A and B are shown apart, each in its own frame.
Chain A
Amino acid sequence: MDDGRIRVTRRDILRGAGAAALVGAVARGDGPEAVPGLRRSGPDAASIPFTVNGKPVAVVVEPRVTLLDALRDHLDLTGTKRICDHGACCGCTVFLDGKPVNSCLVLAADVEGRDVTTIEGLAKGDQLHPVQAAFVKHDALMCGFCTPGMIMSCAALLSATKKPTDEQIRRAVAGNLCRCGTYPHVFAAAREAAR
C-alpha cells in the first residue's frame, strides 16, 4: 500500500553522516553565503547550501546539527516543531526532495544541494493548501503544536495517493503524535482535502 510515507531510519542517518564526512574531505563549499576555510568534516561549523521552500539558502552549522534545528534556529522557520527530537512523534515532518522525513533524524549537512519544503512553504501566498484549508474547516487542531507535522503527513499522502481510503489516512498519520486529541478531526480534514 502506498501511503506516501517514507521515513529516514537511524541506519540511513549513520550512512548519511558517513557520506557527509567523505564529501567533507573534498571541500567544495560555494553556497550563497559560504564561509571560506571551514571544513565539512567537523568538528567546526561548515556552510551548507540547500533550497528551502523554493529559495536557495545556506546555513553555517556544526556536523551534529539536525535539519530541524537548522530550519528553526538558523532560518527562523519555526513552523516545524521540535517535540521528541528522536523520530518518535513526526512533529518535525518536512519534505526532503518531495518525500516526508522527520527533520530531527536528518543532519543538516546531509541536505546539501537538496530541496526542502516546510509548513511555511505549503500555502501559495494567501491561498492555503487544500489540507491546510480542510484542517481549519474541521478544527483538526487544538494547541496546534503537532499540526504542522500532521499537515505535512496528510499533504504527502495526497500527493502520492489521489483518493486515499480511511485506512490509508490513518496510516499516513500513524506516527504523528497529538496530545490534545485531534485525530478524529484530522481524519475528517484529510478526507475532505482528498475530495
Chain B
Amino acid sequence: MTDLKLGFPGNEKPVQADVPAGMPPPWDLSTQLKVVGKDHPRVDAVAKVTGRAKYSYDIRFKDLIYAKLLRSPHARARLKSVDVSKAKAMKGVLYTEAYDHAIVYAGQHVAGVAAESEGILDDALATIVVEYEVLPCVTTVEGALDEGAPGAIEGRGNLEEGRAQGDLEKVEEAHKQADVVVEAEYRTQVQTHSCLETHGCVCKWENGKLTVWSSTQGTFSVRSGMARTLGIPESNVTVITEHMGGGFGAKFGIDAWDQFCARAARESGRPCRAMLDRREEHIAGNRPDSIQKCKFSAKKDGTLMGGEVRSQGTAGIAAGGANVRNPGIYRFRATYAKHDTVLTNASSARAFRAPGHPQGVFALEGMMDELAEAIGMDPLEFRKKNDANVVRLAQYDIGAKEIGWQRRKKSGSDKGPVKRGLGVASAIWGHNVRGGAEVRCTIGRDGSVILANGAQDLGTGTRTVIGLMGAEELGLSLAEVEVRLGNTNDPVGPGSGGSQTAPAVAPAARAAAWEAKRELLKHVASSLGGDAEKMDLRDGKVTGAPRPLSFKQACGLMSVDAVSALGRGAIGIPPFNGEVAGVQFAEVEVDTETGSVRVIKVVAVQDCGLVVDPLTARSQINGGVIQGVSYALFEDRLLDRRTGDQVNADFLGYKIAGALDMPEIVSIAFSVAQGMTSTGVSSLGEPPTVPTAGAIGNAVANALGERIRSLPITPAKVLAALGGAR
C-alpha cells in the first residue's frame, strides 16, 4: 500500500492506494514536479505559426486527383435514375460512382466523381443528371409529430420514445412537500460543429497497401473502418494525422466520401483527395435541438425538491441522439426524466463537445434561477445549498470573487436602457480515464528521446502533454524530448471523444519514460557499478551514480543502440472526487432598445485533475467558453421547412463568435490531485463548454427581469420578451 495525499489545498485527503504493478509511483499533492504544471508553449506551435504544419488538406502529390460527391437538394426522395455517363466521358475524369439508396436528408450523396483538377471536377458534377421522385418530408420536431406527418424514414415512426428514468411518484410527492413549483419550457437550437478544416482525407495506394491522411479524431477507427469497407487487412492500412483542424466530435470513423476517395484512388491508380467544402461540412454533424418541459420544486429554506423533465429533440435521421442532461448536477430529492428522439429529414447529429450537456444545463440552470427567484434566495446561495460536490463548492467562491458576485442586483432593477446582469451555472463531467493506450519511449545512445503514440492531436495539446510526461520523468526539458503522434504504425491510442485522450496517454507516456529510464540506469550500473534502483534522472543528470554523470553521458554508456519501453496507462486508484467539476459566471450587457446582448466577462473555474500545462489548459477553457458564447447568442442551423435544405450552410449565414464578440475571459484551471492513474490527469476538453450558455441565459434574465428560455438569445427574442416596452 502506498500513502497518497489527494484533493486540493484546503481539502486534502490522505488515502492508502494499492498501486498496480508496473505503475510508476503515483504523483499526489506532495509531489514536487519540475516541468509539469508550468506554462509551456505547445510543442507544435512553431510548425503551426510558420505554415509548415501539414494537415490532411495540405497533403499533395504531383499526380493527385480530387474527389467529390454530388448531393441531393431534396430531403426525401426516391432516386429514379442517376446518369453519370457524361461525366465519365469527360477528359480528366478518372472515376465515377452512382448510388441508388433512398434519400432521407438534403445533402445526402447520390453520385461521386474523381478528376484531375477541382475545375474539371466541378464541370463533371454539373453534367450528372439525377431524376428524383420528390417525397414529402418533415424538418421540425413539431412537424414530425403532427398527425398525418410523413415518416422521415420509410417504415418507421417519427417518435422514438426514451426510457423513463427516475420515479415519477416520488417526484410528485416532492412537489407536494415543496413551497414553490415552477413549470417552464426551454428550447435549444441545432448547432453545427463548424470545424475550420473540413472533414476528409487523402488516400494513396502502393502495392496493395493504403495510406490515408485523415482529418480525424480517431486514427485507429479510420484504419479499421477503411480495412473493413475495402476488404483488406488492417495491417495494410496506415492512417496519418499529424495535424488536424478541429473536430469537436464530428470526425470519427470513416464517411461515404472517405470510402469513395479510397476506391477512386485504387481504381485510378493515383493518390486522391476528398475534402468537404464548407457547405458540406455544415451537414456533416451537429448538436441536436431540444424542447425541454421542466417542472422543478423547492422549499422556502432553499431545499431543492423535485426535478421533472420531458424532452424532445431531433438528431435528424439518427435515433437516440437527442438526450439532454437534465435534471442533474444538484441534489434533488427525487427526479424523473424522459427524453424522446424525433426523426426528421435532416442530416445526422454527431457527438458534439459534451453531447447533451450544454442544452440540458441551459434549461436546468434556468430552472434553478427561476426557483431561487420564486423563494427569494440568491441563486448562488441556492446552488451551494444543493450541491454536494466539494470541488465545485470551492470553485463557487473563487468564481464569485473573480466576477464580483456581490454586485449582482435584483433582477430587472438595473436602471437605464442598457442593463447589466450576472449569472452562474455549473458543469459535471465524468473522469474519462480509460486504459488501453500505449506509448513507446525510446532513448538513443546520443541522448535523443522519442515518445510515440498513434493517436492524434486535435489542437488540444496532446503532443505537449505526452512530451511533458517524458520530460518530467527523465529529468529533461520539454525541448529535449521529441513526440511523434498521429501514425497508426505507432502504439495504439484512443479516439479523442469523451475528453479521454490526455487522461489515457499521460499515464502511458509517463510509464514508458519511467520504464525506459530504468533500462537506461541498468546500463549505467553495469558500466560504472552502483545500484540502478537507487539512481534517478534529475535536471539533466544521473543522481545516485558512482560519479557525476549527465543524462547524455549516461546514454553514451549503453551497450545497445537504444533502450525502448512500452508504457500502459494503468488505472488503480479511486478518484478523490467522483466527477469533474466546473463553474462559470457571466456578466452581460443588454441593450433594451436594440435587443442586442453583449457578454462582458466570463469567469470559468474548471477542474481537470492534474493541470499538466496551465497555458494550453487555459486555451482549452477559453475555447469551451467561446463556443458556449457562440451557442448562446449566435449559432442556429436553419433548414428550409419545405425542402429540408440548410439555408445558412456557410460562415456568412451561420454566425460563429468572432473577435468583436469576445468578453473578457478569466479561465482558471483548478488543479485537483484526483488519483486514478500515476499522473492524476483527467478530462478537460468538453466540460468548459457545458455551463456557458446557462450562465449567460441567467445573466440576461438578471439584467432584464424577463427570462428568455430559447437559444440563441437573439435581439428579436430580447425585444419580444420585453414586449416592445422598456
Q: In angstroms, how far is the closest chain A Cβ from the Cβ of B592?
A: 24
A120 to B41, Cβ gap below 8 A? no
Is B83 interfacial (CB-CB < 8 Å)?
no
**Measured CA separation A122–B52 after assembly (Å):** 12
B196 to A173, Cβ gap below 8 A? no
**Measured CA separation A77–B521 after assembly (Å):** 46
> How many chain B residues have a CB neighbour from A under 8 Å?
56
Q: In angstroms, how far is the closest chain B Cβ from the Cβ of A7?
A: 14
Of the listed stretches B9-17, B150-158, B622-630, name the one at the interface; the rest are far from the partner chain: B622-630
A143 to B278, Cβ gap below 8 A? no
When A143-B246, A181-B622 are in contact, do A170 and B662 touch as well, CB less than 8 Å?
yes
**Measured CA separation A182–B193 after assembly (Å):** 16
Is B532 interfacial (CB-CB < 8 Å)?
no
Which of A80, A85, A178, A187 sits near B51, CB closer than 8 Å? A80
Is B21 interfacial (CB-CB < 8 Å)?
no
Q: Which residues of B contact A181 (CB under 8 A)?
A: 619, 622-627, 657
Most buried by A among B46, B50, B57, B248: B50
A148 to B51, Cβ gap below 8 A? yes
Q: In angstroms, how far is the closest chain B Cβ from the Cβ of A127?
A: 11
Most buried by A among B45, B246, B625, B659: B659
**Measured CA separation A122–B243 after assembly (Å):** 21
B196 to A178, Cβ gap below 8 A? yes
Q: Which residues of B contact A171 (CB under 8 A)?
A: 659-660
Is A175 interfacial (CB-CB < 8 Å)?
yes
A141 to B45, Cβ gap below 8 A? yes
When A62-B119, A86-B650, A180-B246 are in contact, do A136 and B658 touch as well, CB less than 8 Å?
no
**Measured CA separation A83–B197 after assembly (Å):** 6
When A88-B650, A119-B50, A185-B622 are in contact, do A174 and B45 touch as well, CB less than 8 Å?
no
Is A39 interfacial (CB-CB < 8 Å)?
no
Name B193's closest neighbour in chain A (CB-CB): A179
Tell me how many residue pairs across A and B have CB atoms closer than 8 Å.
168
When A81-B57, A170-B659, A179-B248 are in contact, do A132 and B459 touch as well, CB less than 8 Å?
no
Q: Which residues of B contact A78 (CB under 8 A)?
A: 51, 54-55, 57-58, 60
Which of B51, B195, B246 sits near A118, CB closer than 8 Å? B51
B616 to A139, Cβ gap below 8 A? yes
Which of B50, B196, B615, B657 sits near A139, CB closer than 8 Å? B615
Is A151 interfacial (CB-CB < 8 Å)?
yes
> How many chain A residues have a CB neighbour from B under 8 Å?
57
When A69-B118, A73-B60 are in contact, do A144 and B660 touch as well, CB less than 8 Å?
no
Is B44 interfacial (CB-CB < 8 Å)?
yes
Name A189's closest neighbour in chain B (CB-CB): B49
B623 to A84, Cβ gap below 8 A? no
Is B410 interfacial (CB-CB < 8 Å)?
no
A86 to B652, Cβ gap below 8 A? yes
Is B245 interfacial (CB-CB < 8 Å)?
yes
Is B620 interfacial (CB-CB < 8 Å)?
yes
Name B665's closest neighbour in chain A (CB-CB): A184
Is A89 interfacial (CB-CB < 8 Å)?
yes
When A139-B615, A177-B658 are in contact, do A144 and B58 touch as well, CB less than 8 Å?
no
Q: In angstroms, how far is the closest chain B Cβ from the Cβ of A116?
A: 13
Q: In angstroms, how far is the closest chain A Cβ from the Cβ of B287?
A: 14
Q: Which residues of A contact B616 (CB under 8 A)?
A: 139
Q: Which residues of B contact A91 (CB under 8 A)?
A: 196
A79 to B50, Cβ gap below 8 A? yes
A143 to B45, Cβ gap below 8 A? no
A84 to B660, Cβ gap below 8 A? no
A179 to B196, Cβ gap below 8 A? yes
B619 to A139, Cβ gap below 8 A? yes
B620 to A146, Cβ gap below 8 A? no
B196 to A142, Cβ gap below 8 A? no
Most buried by B among A69, A83, A145: A145
Most buried by B among A62, A79, A151: A79
When A83-B278, A181-B623, A183-B662 are in contact, do A88 and B652 touch as well, CB less than 8 Å?
yes
Which of B49, B52, B55, B118 sits near A135, CB closer than 8 Å? B49
When A91-B196, A139-B616, A181-B626 are in contact, do A145 and B51 touch as well, CB less than 8 Å?
no
Q: Which residues of A contact B60 (CB under 8 A)?
A: 72-73, 76, 78
Which of B119, B197, B243, B660 sits near A64, CB closer than 8 Å? B119
Which of A69, A85, A143 sits near B244, CB closer than 8 Å? A143
**Measured CA separation A85–B276 after assembly (Å):** 12
**Measured CA separation A138–B468 after assembly (Å):** 18
Interface string of A126-166 (1 = CB under 8 A from B): 00100010011101011111111001000000000000000
Interface string of A109-130 (1 = CB under 8 A from B): 0000000001110110000100
A79 to B651, Cβ gap below 8 A? no
Is B42 interfacial (CB-CB < 8 Å)?
yes
**Measured CA separation A80–B615 after assembly (Å):** 26
B52 to A179, Cβ gap below 8 A? no
Q: Which residues of A contact B622 (CB under 8 A)?
A: 181-185
Q: In angstroms, how far is the closest chain B Cβ from the Cβ of A35?
A: 16
A142 to B656, Cβ gap below 8 A? no
B658 to A174, Cβ gap below 8 A? yes
Is B277 interfacial (CB-CB < 8 Å)?
yes
Q: Which residues of A contact B52 (CB under 8 A)?
A: 79, 120
Interface string of B187-212 (1 = CB under 8 A from A): 00000011111000000000000000
Which of A86, A128, A145, A174 sits near B50, CB closer than 8 Å? A128
Interface positions, chain A 42-82, Cβ under 8 Å from B, are 62, 64-65, 69, 72-73, 76-82
Name B195's closest neighbour in chain A (CB-CB): A179
**Measured CA separation A20–B624 after assembly (Å):** 45
Given contact pairs A118-B51, A180-B623, a sample of 15 additional A-B residue pairs in the complex whose CB atoms are under 8 Å apart: A62-B119, A85-B278, A88-B650, A89-B651, A91-B196, A120-B51, A120-B52, A141-B42, A141-B48, A143-B245, A143-B246, A145-B459, A174-B660, A181-B657, A183-B658
Can you report 21 residue pairs joining A to B where beta carbons are below 8 Å apart?
A78-B60, A79-B50, A81-B196, A84-B651, A88-B650, A135-B45, A136-B45, A139-B41, A142-B459, A143-B244, A143-B458, A144-B245, A151-B49, A170-B660, A179-B627, A181-B619, A181-B622, A181-B625, A181-B626, A186-B659, A187-B662
Q: Which 6 residue pairs are nearest across A and B when measured between Cβ atoms?
A: A79-B51, A143-B459, A181-B623, A145-B245, A181-B626, A144-B48
